[in-house]
Amino acid sequence: MAAAPGSLGLVFCGSGIGISIAANKVQGIRCAVAWCEHVSEYGRRHNHANCLAFGADVQTWVEVERCLNAYLGASEEEGRHALRVQMVQEMDGIR
């Protein structure tokens, strides 16, 4: 299970895809592949992603930093997005 509520994580592999799949097997993790600033921001806003996956073979450190800043600057939105997150948590056995 993910360490603690409010914890955030970063994971890396060559493309970011394989490690995101692995991270999402961990109860409580909602990992998004962060390939651009927009996806990173909306991963947090709309899906309450608590982990970002990066591709070390396909992204520069500047791109990673931009994605991370967009992610950290975003706030988790409620409404229809919170309902979606609740449904995912229920699938994961978290209430």
Residues forming the active site: 13, 46
CA distance 89 to 79: 16
Give Cβ neighbours of residue 91 (< 8 Å, ≥ 6 apart).
none
Q: Whose CA is closest to 7, among 65, 50, 52, 67? A: 50
